[in-house]
Structure 1
Amino acid sequence: MSILPSPDQQNEQLFSNSIISFIKKFQVIKLLRKCGFRKEKGISLFSLFLYVLSNVFRDRSLYMQLKMDHFQENFSKNSYYRFMRNVHVNWLHFTTLLSAQIINNHLRSLTSEKRADCFVVDDSYFSRTGFKKTELVAKVFDHVSMTYKKGFRMMTLGWTDGASFMPINSVLLSSQKLQNMIGENKVFDQRTIAGQRRMLARTKGTDVMVNLIDQAMKAGHQAKYVLFDSWFSNPHQIVQLKQRKLDVIAMVKVSSKIKYEFEGERKNIKQIYRSCKKRCGRSRYLLSIPVKVGRQDKDGAKIDARIVCVRNRANRKDWLAIICTDMSLSEDEIIRNYGKRWDIE
């Protein structure tokens, strides 16, 4: 059963008016033209986009409307398909601009200045059943089932203030390894939108994360912190974001290969944890230590950060580590701000 009920005849006009109001308020048609959509004659761009957006909230599709003979629009199905398949429209840039309009002109005025807003990055498995006919589909690792599945990884960048969450943009990631590729890998001019999206799909996930944040900031997005889990928590990416004047609050990856400078020596997180005295009693955290992240020769800079170790709620004998590049934050504020990352789930 759908969670989006279809409006009845009585409320149809009211529903359409609300969609029209949204399109006009946030200048959606202007943004579409800015992202490459051009229409010289025929059905207006406004009518086509209104129909596409309305179908999402009405839980309808063009195919079923044609099959049930309920299609009553003043354009043909060919006009609809030409609109959806227009190769000149940069949909990634469109969602980035639209979310900036909504956040900056509506949500930000509702957010207190004392409440820190954050970028949140996460990826999840995107299933593809017809994988044999799908371009760039690959065997990707699903972190939930801990197995390889056929499909994509969908990386999503969002914005949150702890009360509201707004997705900014997203990208489907394939595999960099040729042996994991299943779908066809077509060759496109790298200067075109199609070529750039396919190149992005086969780029390393941590680099894609920085790319999405760069696009968001260029479109007018602002945030104080970037939140992500241990999958993206590499010193190189942390240094890159700090150079963009963004502080990071992230889960530390427990790996012997990733090392931090602590008391003049380079140690991994397990070595640091074992060498320090833990807080006892009912403290909210076990350990809080200043470290330096990155290497001058490899990452281009070496920055200050704080690692806070907390108990793992799922296993009280285990522990988790959170890293923060804002040295002015207290341990309680670091833990509280990292909790905002769950908004993207």
Structure 2
Amino acid sequence: MPKKDTISRFLNSSTYAWRTFLLSLCQDLTGRIKKLTLNNRVKVFTVDDSLFSRNRSKSVELLSRVFDHTEKRFYKGFQLLTLGWSDGYSFLPVDFALLSSAKKENQLNGVIDPLINALPATSVVLKHNKISQAMSLLYWIMP
């Protein structure tokens, strides 16, 4: 078992490719779960857009008013977009993103740190057929 300071350094690293790590961890776990379940079980990807509410926040970077379609009202916060894998019993988050509103009238705070815009955009581009092959996907579900 690694020491506590090794794990802390790993979790606090800002240079690590977290999306790649999350994807590889999810691929490993789905492989282990598939061995424990029946082959005829339906495996799906679910895309969920939930509200990440920050109603008490004032100076959070890119904070915006987000419409909650379940309660039919606006909240301060972010849209949490999650891609998850499920076999009907288990759920594993594959990727996620916190999104701010693109509408100027809903934006409460802009970019606080100007260096954020100067950094190159690094993201993992995933083709749905590659993910489907890697995780034995049968359906996409978008509630």
TM-score by length of 1: 0.36
2:15 is aligned to: 88
Higher relative contact order (CA 8 A, sep 6+): 2
Within the alignment, does 1:131 sit opposite 2:60 as a pair? no
Give the Cα separation in 2 of the matches to 1:153 and 1:122: 10
Give the Cα separation in 2 of the matches to 1:158 and 1:178: 30
Q: CA deviation at 1:173?
A: 1.1
Contact 2:132 2:138 in 1 (8 A): no
Residues 218 and 165 of structure 1, relative CA distance in 2, 3 Å threshold? closer
| SS at 2:58 equivalent | helix
Give the Cα separation in 1 of the matches to 2:106 and 2:6: 37
2:25 to 89, 98, 101: 98
Q: CA deviation at 1:129?
A: 4.1
2:5 is aligned to: 48
Residues 89 and 140 of structure 1, relative CA distance in 2, 3 Å threshold? same
* Long gaps (5+) in structure 2: none
Give the Cα separation in 1 of the matches to 2:127 and 2:66: 23
1:179 is aligned to: 105
1:221 is aligned to: 135
Query: Which protein has the larger Cα radius of gyration, Structure 1 or Structure 2?
Result: 1
Higher strand share: 2
Higher helix share: 1
Q: CA RMSD in A?
A: 3.1
1:168 is aligned to: 94
Q: CA deviation at 1:143?
A: 1.5
Give the Cα separation in 1 of the matches to 2:136 and 2:61: 34
1:119 to 4, 28, 45: 45
**Which residue identity is paired with 2:78?**
F
Q: CA deviation at 1:137?
A: 1.1
Q: CA deviation at 1:220?
A: 3.5
* Long gaps (5+) in structure 1: 1-19, 21-44, 53-79, 198-210, 230-345
Provide Cα deviations, 1:35-77, integer angstroms capped at 9, x if missing partner.
xxxxxxxxxx853354x5xxxxxxxxxxxxxxxxxxxxxxxxx
1:159 is aligned to: 85
- 4+ runs deviating over 6 angstroms: none
Give the Cα separation in 1 of the matches to 2:132 and 2:61: 30
Give the Cα separation in 2 of the matches to 1:49 and 1:142: 40
Residues 113 and 125 of structure 1, relative CA distance in 2, 3 Å threshold? same
2:69 is aligned to: 143
Number of residue pairs matched by the alignment:
140
**Which residue identity is paired with 1:48?**
D
Residues 212 and 108 of structure 1, relative CA distance in 2, 3 Å threshold? same
Contact 1:118 1:159 in 2 (8 A): yes
TM-score by length of 2: 0.79
Percentage of pairs with the same residue: 29
Provide Cα deviations, 1:235-272, integer angstroms capped at 9, x if missing partner.
xxxxxxxxxxxxxxxxxxxxxxxxxxxxxxxxxxxxxx
Provide Cα deviations, 1:270-297, integer angstroms capped at 9, x if missing partner.
xxxxxxxxxxxxxxxxxxxxxxxxxxxx
Q: CA deviation at 1:183?
A: 1.9
Q: CA deviation at 1:90?
A: 2.2
